[in-house]
Structure formats: C-alpha cells, structure tokens
Amino acid sequence: MRQSMFAEPIPETALVVGTLKFHSYESGTACYVKAWRGRQTRPYAHYRFRDDARRAEWIAGQCQAEDAGQQAKSDRKTADQAARAKLVESIQVGTLLHYAWGWEQTQCEFFQVIEKRGSVVVLMPIGGEEVEGSNTGGMACMLRPVPDKFYGVPARKVICSHGVPMKHGTATITTADQQHYCSWYA
C-alpha cells in the first residue's frame, strides 16, 4: 500500500471502537487525541483538550455519531432494497416508461417493456403524440406515450430502486393518458 509522506502509522496502543481508532496521549499539562476512521492512514482529527474528562467526552461523542451514521446507512440500504423490490414487482411486460432529459430544453422519450427476467428488462422505444391544444405557438408542448408504436432498437436495463437507469437520468413508470412536458429550440 502506497502512503504519502505525511501519513502516520496508527500506534499499537490506539483504542479501537468499531471503525474508529483513537490514540490518546499527554504532553505537558494538555491532553491530546488523534482519530482515524476505517482504513485511513492520516488522522481525521488531532485535538488538544484541557483535561482528560473533556477528551473522553469528545471520544464518546465521536463513537455515538459514528454509530448513528452506521445506523442511518443501514436504514437507507434497507429502504432502497424495499423500494427496488416494489419497483421490480410493479414493472411488467407492457409497462410504459417516461424518460426526460436535456439542457435548457426538455427531451421526452418513451419506452415499453417487451421482456422481463427478474430485475432485468428489455425496453423498446415507442413514439409519443402531442396533446391537442397544448402547443400555443411556442417551442413547447405536452406529450403522451403511444403504446405499441415501436421504433429503434431494444435495450437491456437493470431496474434500480428509483426507476430504470438511462444515460442522463432515470426512466419512471407512466401511463398512456399521462401528459409530459417537452420543449425544444428551432
């Protein structure tokens, strides 16, 4: 493992609490602590305290914050897994997807699921139609997907927790009567 010239070895006497490592020492009348997280080679903290009680309080606070962070990470992972499982179940053959992207304009693309195996889907691009009366002479209108109006080539994608990942965003579930904003430049 390559270390920078400023990296310090973690002392053998460091207190290890979960993924945190603390090295406490005294110099003169002051108390010091260095703290490392995970496999870091440089300490993320190097503090001086007036007394040992304040140093112990800071270390306890760091441990509580780390525990809370690990719990939040675990909760997010569980929620993502549940959301993905729900989405995988709701996307079936024939499901319509909407994908909007663009810079200073909104491009709309529509897809229809033509095959599904587990969490992998095959998407076929489908056309969209302008909603009557939505274009008032500007360079924008509302579009809705037209099921079974296929064009282009199919694409194989894996469903994630918030939709189907695309090049510049995510395709989400839509219906044939749902309207989507689209804009363009001449």
Please tell me whether residues 109 and 175 are part of one structural domain. yes
Domains identified in the chain, total number: 2
Residue 46 and residue 75 in one domain: yes
Residue 85 located in a structural domain: no
The pLDDT confidence band at residue 1, using thresholds 50, 70 and 90, is: very low
CB 169 within 8 A of CB 97: no
Closest CA to 18 of 34, 36, 1, 31: 36
Q: Inform me whether the pLDDT recorded for 4 exceeds 60.
A: no
Distance CA 5, CA 49 (A): 27
- Please indicate, yes or no, whether residues 101 and 149 belong to a single structural domain of this protein: yes
84 lies in a domain?
no
Structural domain boundaries, residue 75: 15-79
| 17 pLDDT tier (thresholds 50, 70, 90) | confident
Residue (of 52, 118, 64, 123) closest to 88 by Cα position = 118
**CA neighbor of 167 nearest in space, from 113, 111, 114, 116:** 111
Domain assignment present for residue 117? The answer is: yes
pTM, 2 dp = 0.71
Query: pLDDT tens across 29-67, in order?
Result: 889 999 999 888 899 999 999 999 999 999 999 999 999
Considering the domain architecture, whether residues 103 and 171 belong to the same structural domain is answered as: yes
Q: What is the mean pLDDT of residues 109-134?
A: 94
